[in-house]
Amino acid sequence: MKQFFVKNRKWTGYTIYGILLTFALLFYRFPSDALRDYVQATAHSKTPNLLVTFQKVSPSFPFGLKFAGAECRIQGDPEQTVFKTKELLVRPVIWSLFGRTPEYSFTCQAYDGTISGSINIRKNGEETLFNLSTKFDNIHIDANSPVPAFLKDYTGGVLEGAITYSGSDLYDLNGTGEASLTLSKGSFKFAKPFLNINVIDFKEVSVKAALKEQNLNISNINLKGDDFLGQASGAINLKNSLKKSSISLKGTIEPTAAFIQNSTKANDAVLLLKQSSKKGKISFTLQGTIEKPDFRFNQLL
């Protein structure tokens, strides 16, 4: 082998030079605008009210694409940002490119944490289907996060967990999926104060849910906090306009002994909770829509 390279060092040098030149031209002459137009047109054809934008696309060694300034927005009045990152890296799973279901991995730094996962694409007759698997790690949601107002206006915290989804697009009537998520060190905010309670802080909220036929069936929600413990289950019927999705949840909430002992103000909320705590848990319902949720304690209905 050594003798081969010695005898053909001239052509070996030309080959290496050609490879390096190809990579250099690829980086400096990459058709960023054309690829951006293609991605935007494809996303719009699948989900007309979803606008995908990014500042620049460039190749990333080895075998990847780097999307700078990527952002997804839901068009409407008002227009709302649903995702934003400084940089999104996409790479193909090489072995999958030789089969009928190409797969791509992705990762990005966003919301002070990391979002990663994979997506594979397959043909079902004339229909194109995809399987999406996403993992969230240390994602911070607060009042300044680039997420829809109907989310950050009512809750916040640090998100961990995973979501899977299969379908032809995000609004596929036959789309299915699962979610296992945990939101920690956050709070729930009421649109209107109820019995002088504006916010419920929590240490951790865990959620398990499954999607089928546009119904998000929530099998379990567990809340743990210094002041309250809670549990709920139910369903959310998803609409094309996500904020119009209808909610139907029932659950219980239980004030902790520390909350009762530390509550010195004799307001209606504290009196109700003290009386109810003697009997056990307090039941509640959450109905309405994501845009206008309606929370009620059942004792006062």
Mean pLDDT within 211-225: 91
Residue 1 lies in a domain: no
Q: How much is the pLDDT for 205? A: 94
Q: What is the mean pLDDT of residues 181-203?
A: 81
Token reading at 224: 């743990």
Q: In angstroms, how far is the first alpha carbon of the chain from the final one? A: 86
Residue 294 forms beta bridges with which residues? 287
Residue 65 forms part of a structural domain = no
- Amino acid identity at 237: N
Whether 77 shows a pLDDT value over 90: the answer reads no
Contact 142, 112 (CB under 8 A): no
- Phi first, then psi, for residue 15 (nearest 5°) are -65, -45
Residue 31 within a domain? no
Q: What is the spatial distance between Cα 87 and Cα 115, in angstroms, rounded to a whole number? A: 11
Contact 157, 187 (CB under 8 A): yes
- Point out the least confidently predicted range of 12-21, 61-70, 119-128, 248-257: 12-21
Note down the domain range covering 217: 93-300
**32-68 per-position pLDDT tens digit:** 565 566 666 666 666 677 778 888 877 777 777 888 8
Q: Considering the domain boundaries, does residue 29 fall inside one?
A: no
In this prediction, residues 208-224 reach a mean pLDDT of 92
Cα-to-chain-centroid distance, residue 48 = 19
Residue 146, class by beta-carbon neighbours within 10 Å (0-12 exposed, 13-18 middle, 19+ buried)? middle
Which tops the pLDDT comparison, 263 or 56? 56
> Does 48 or 255 have the greater pLDDT score?
255
Examine the pLDDT at 268 and tell me if it is beyond 50: yes
* Per-residue model confidence (pLDDT) at position 281: 76
Domain membership flag for residue 87:
no
Please tell me the distance from the alpha carbon of residue 38 to that of residue 159, in angstroms, as a whole number: 32
Residue 160 belongs to a domain: yes
The structural domain count of the chain equals 1
